[in-house]
Amino acid sequence: MKLKRGIVLVLTTVLLAGLVAGCQPQSYTDDAGRQVDIDKAPQRIIAFGPNITEILFALGLDDRIVGVSDFCDYPQEAQDKPKVGNSFSPSIEKVVELEPDLVMTVEHEQFNSELEGLGITYVVLDPEDVRSILGTIRLAGEVTGRAKEGNRLADDMEKVISDITTRVKSAARPTVFFMVDGTDPNMPWTAGGGSFIHDVITIAGGENIASRIADDYTQLSIEEIVNADPDFIIIQTMMGGVPTVAVEVLEQHPIWQQLSAVKEGNIYLINGDLVSRPGPRITQGLEEMARILHPELFD
């Protein structure tokens, strides 16, 4: 009898220890290097950033998203979620109203410091380059209890990156001018060496003519572009597939029309979100970029 009681006591102790251990918070290191403790999978998440919203939807967490930032427009369902402002004008009041148990955010000093002051748990998801997006997706999966889905998605993206890297490894590297905004064709905005667009161009086997500039975005004079005489001009499109400058504008411009890329018809359009948002669709943008620069390798 005493033996049976002893066994029951041991089993009960082990069970209780397991339950207590299961309630212990898990510690995660976010993209800002912060240690964040989370004791259970969050059920009410605010995604402050279009790339974060795309990641959460890709992980099948759309039913847990209670709020998104103003520019979260993909997938279509994201547009129906309550809005909490944007990087220029975040609404901490709306965040509080939505009662999240977790906010997933980019590095934003004002917004994140207000979350800190209110005691709202937040995780920074803000990768530095294309390859680090994979780690960000894995982290998002772990924090939300979707580690398997996060790892699977990151693995699939890694295969795409590796395949493209292998294909273009020995190919010549054409020069590229990426048109972010050509409203003023004499002083257009382009992607500098610190941008995701630059990283996409590089991985796809191209050479960004603005790579020497460390900023994400910068302006180049038309003289600088003429001197570089890029092999390709790639113009980003915005919502609705509208380019920031019409191809015809460059073809009819007395200076632009002298460039090799214009003469040879090497002007292409690409969805700007695919190459600038650090989320799941970045590999789609990478594939499109690689096919533009090296069509012979992707027949």
Encoded amino acid at 149, one letter: E
CATH number of 249's domain: 3.40.50.1980
6 within a domain of the structure (yes/no): no
Is residue 131 located within the same domain as residue 44?
Answer: yes
15 within a domain of the structure (yes/no): no
Write the pLDDT tens digit of every residue in 69-102.
999 999 999 999 999 999 899 999 999 999 999 9
In degrees, rounded to 5, the angle at the alpha carbon of residue 283 between the alpha carbons of residues 281 and 287 is: 120
Is residue 187 located within the same domain as residue 150?
Answer: no
20 within a domain of the structure (yes/no): no
Q: What is the pLDDT of residue 23?
A: 52
16 within a domain of the structure (yes/no): no
Share of the chain above pLDDT 90, in %: 87
Is residue 216 located within the same domain as residue 181?
Answer: yes
**pLDDT bracket for residue 299 (50, 70, 90):** confident
Is residue 145 located within the same domain as residue 34?
Answer: yes
Name the token pair of 188.
Answer: 């257009």
Is the omega angle on the peptide bond into residue 280 within 30 degrees of 0, that is, cis? Answer: no
Is residue 132 located within the same domain as residue 181?
Answer: no
Q: What is the pLDDT of residue 253?
A: 95
DSSP string, the chain: -HHHHHHHHHHHHHHHHHHHHHHSPEEEE-TTS-EEEESS--SSEEEESHHHHHHHHHTT-GGGEEEE-TT---SGGGGGSPB-B-SSSB-HHHHHHH--SEEEE-S-HHHHHHHHHTT--EEE---SSTTHHHHHHHHHHHHTT-HHHHHHHHHHHHHHHHHHHHHHTTS---EEEEEEE-SSTTS-EEE-TTSHHHHHHHHTT-EETTTT--SSEEE--HHHHHHH--SEEEEEE-GGG-BSS-HHHHHHSTTGGGSHHHHTT-EEEEEHHHHHS-STTHHHHHHHHHHHH-GGG--
Is residue 222 located within the same domain as residue 288?
Answer: yes
Is residue 109 located within the same domain as residue 83?
Answer: yes
- Single out the residue in 91, 123, 157 at which a domain terminates: 157
Summarize the confidence of residues 230-259 as an average pLDDT.
92
Is residue 132 located within the same domain as residue 234?
Answer: no
End-to-end CA distance of the chain, in Å? 77
181 within a domain of the structure (yes/no): yes
Is residue 110 located within the same domain as residue 225?
Answer: no
pTM for the whole structure: 0.89
Q: What is the pLDDT of residue 17?
A: 47
What is the total count of domains within the chain?
A: 2
Which residues have CB under 8 Å from 15's CB, separation 6+? none
Write the pLDDT tens digit of every residue in 40-59.
999 999 999 999 999 999 99
180 within a domain of the structure (yes/no): yes
Q: What is the pLDDT of residue 244?
A: 87
Is residue 192 located within the same domain as residue 269?
Answer: yes
Give the domain range for residue 71: 27-157
Write the pLDDT tens digit of every residue in 123-158.
999 999 999 999 999 999 999 999 999 999 999 999
Q: What is the pLDDT of residue 238?
A: 84
3 within a domain of the structure (yes/no): no
Is residue 290 located within the same domain as residue 181?
Answer: yes
